Structure 1
């Protein structure tokens, strides 16, 4: 497997919650890796679990240690699932896939960015937002090469290793962005389709101040598709969610705020200016 090109660029961003392992449901937990969340789905002590997203570069050891604390030493996941291929969600995917010797799955439209063929659009430094939007030019958009471990998700919506879950196409933030949903208890892992922190505001990121918001502005090229995706997820009326950034949410507060975001997306989430705003 090739070296990880993302490792050549240091990202000093972090938050006060970095390193926290939190449980949303008995079999759904999250780990904050600097500014992004990865998810562990599976009951503690079980050998039947999956990892969703792979955090920031240089995070392999942190993720492996958290997995060991939840499932035991040397208990690899059945698979690594990716909501999308941005650097903060695949930062340690190469190292983890190689270490655990497990397959990695993503939507077919994400694969060109995960086999080294295609770059994501450059971040929009002129988009409406806070200081992180202005600094986003420092973030890498270099594609990684996950061959031979990478595979496309099945078109039927089934999720490898998670028979009770389904994946839902939620493009906008990226072409092939997906979220994961379990109908039985309406649990959701949303990736960056929406987030629970203003990801372009430095203070909110550092403190992880909870605020349900649209996808990160500086990395979202298609706001029409993003609006449709949020409405699609709101229609499912999730009861508990882990998003790619921010703290988990659940209950009536989640349902109310997500419905409000869906109904007023252009006012709340869509920036007033930027290269991606038509």
Structure 2
């Protein structure tokens, strides 16, 4: 097997600072880019066989490419880019990276209008509470990017192109076309913003990376009923480790108990008043 599944109890607790990349699993490398994580799926011994998941903040293409070169070599080039969704902090460098590497970018069909320049997302809601980031969200961009000929729809059968061991799961709520990735063999999961492990609305908690399982970022979440159902859908897969768009990876009893508590108290813990 090209990876060594990490036992739940051995999941490392690691600090999370921008540019401080680290392995979560042998074949999944997390790169924090300012306030968000991107993931490189693939092993360094196969530099021609890896996939980038999400594309960070605007203007971070050089940082992402430098991390790719450090992990996979100077000619590093992914086979594809997969987007969990199209919010600005997950697609910030995607146009530049797709053009530079000349690779396809895969998204859920319902996310296509937001990555082909057709539609803007609903404006962020700064009234949702939770802290300074929520209040500052009124200035977060909601305009679409345009990937042109690089963009592709994910296959209807749930398979992920270039990642044969993984499947995609439709997890709407935060956005209508949000997806998560799941690998059955070790129950590893990349969840984007379906849920996160830091209270993203709080500037203090974002800076300190105080780890706590939380619902999707409130200021950009469109449908709270769907968001709760998506968390339930992911919990039913019994993930061994969840790699989130914001915050540190979480696994083992902490993840299982956190998901159970989040589902039972979703309206209290996640849904804005």
Equivalent pair of 1:45/1:70 in contact (CA under 8 Å): no
Q: Contact 1:45 / 1:72 at 8 angstroms: preserved in 2?
A: no
Name the structure 2 match of 1:113: 114
Does the alignment pair 1:175 with 2:176? yes
Aligned to 1:131: 132
CA distances 1:206-228 after superposition (whole Å, capped 9, x unpaired): 11111110000000010000000
**Alpha-carbon shift at residue 149 of structure 1 (Å):** 0.1
Is the counterpart of residue 44 in structure 1 residue 60 in structure 2? no
C-alpha distance in 1, partners of 2:72/2:250? 24
Alignment of 1:214 with 2:237, yes or no, is no
CA distance in 2, matches of 1:180, 1:109: 16
Q: Provide the rounded CA distance (Å) in 2 between the counterparts of 1:186 and 1:16.
A: 23
Q: Which residue of 1 aligns with 2:206?
A: 205
Q: 1:275 matched to which residue of 2?
A: none
Alpha-carbon distance in 2 for matches of 1:271, 1:31 = 29
Aligned to 2:240: 239
> Is the 2:129–2:135 Cα contact (8 Å) retained in structure 1?
no
Q: Which moved more, 1:161-170 or 1:66-75?
A: 66-75
Aligned length: 258
Instruction: Look up the match of 2:26.
Output: 26
In 2: Cα distance, 1:268 partner to 1:197 partner = 12
Q: Which residue of 1 aligns with 2:57?
A: 56
Distance 2:143 2:88 in 1: 8
User: How far off its partner does 1:28 sit?
Assistant: 0.7
Q: What CA distance in whole angstroms lies between the structure 2 residues aligned with 1:88 and 1:149?
A: 19
TM-score (norm 1): 0.91
Counterpart residue number, 1:226 = 227
Q: What's the secondary structure of 1:126's corresponding residue?
A: helix
Give runs of ≥4 in structure 1 deviating > 3 Å: none
Provide the TM-score with structure 2 as the length reference: 0.93
Cα root mean square deviation, aligned: 1.1
Write out aligned runs for 1:137-152 (5 A): 137-152=138-153
Structure 1 SS opposite 2:98: helix
Question: Shift of the alpha carbon at 1:263?
Answer: 2.1
In structure 2, the residue matched to 1:69 is 70
What are structure 1's unaligned runs of at least 5 residues?
Answer: 1-14, 273-278
2:164 aligns to what SS in structure 1? coil
Unaligned runs of 5+ residues in structure 2 are 1-14
Cα distance in 2 for partners of 1:128, 1:55 equals 24
